[in-house]
Amino acid sequence: MEFAAYFFIVMGLIFFLGTSIGLLRFPDFYTRMHAAGKGDTLSTVLILLGCIFAVFFQGHLTLLLSLKILLIIIFVFIGSPTATHAMMDSGERAGAKPWKKKGENK
């Protein structure tokens, strides 16, 4: 169980690193928001699952604590993609143009 906790937490941190690199390297607003929305949701859920395993391994996992962590996971699953969509919609209304290769027609 301790290995599973470390595995999920490290995988979550790797996805956070990928999200950070995507935010810095992608060329336009829309691709950056895609990286932020997908990577943030997955990495947060992985880290929370790792926390569940870590607390279970220590013997302190209670029904209330597991319910709280599951509610946080559900909130992240619903809230993060919704917030990303709202920001992308606002960016479109503000006139953010998608990135195109040089020489590519409209």
pLDDT > 70? residue 105:
no
For the stretch 29-83, pLDDT in tens is 999 999 988 999 999 999 999 999 999 888 888 888 988 999 999 999 999 999 9
What DSSP string runs through 23-79?
HHH-SSHHHHHHHHHHHHHHHHHHHHHHHHHHHHHHT---HHHHHHHHHHHHHHHHH
Contacts of 39 (CB under 8 A, 6+ apart): 15, 16, 18, 19, 22
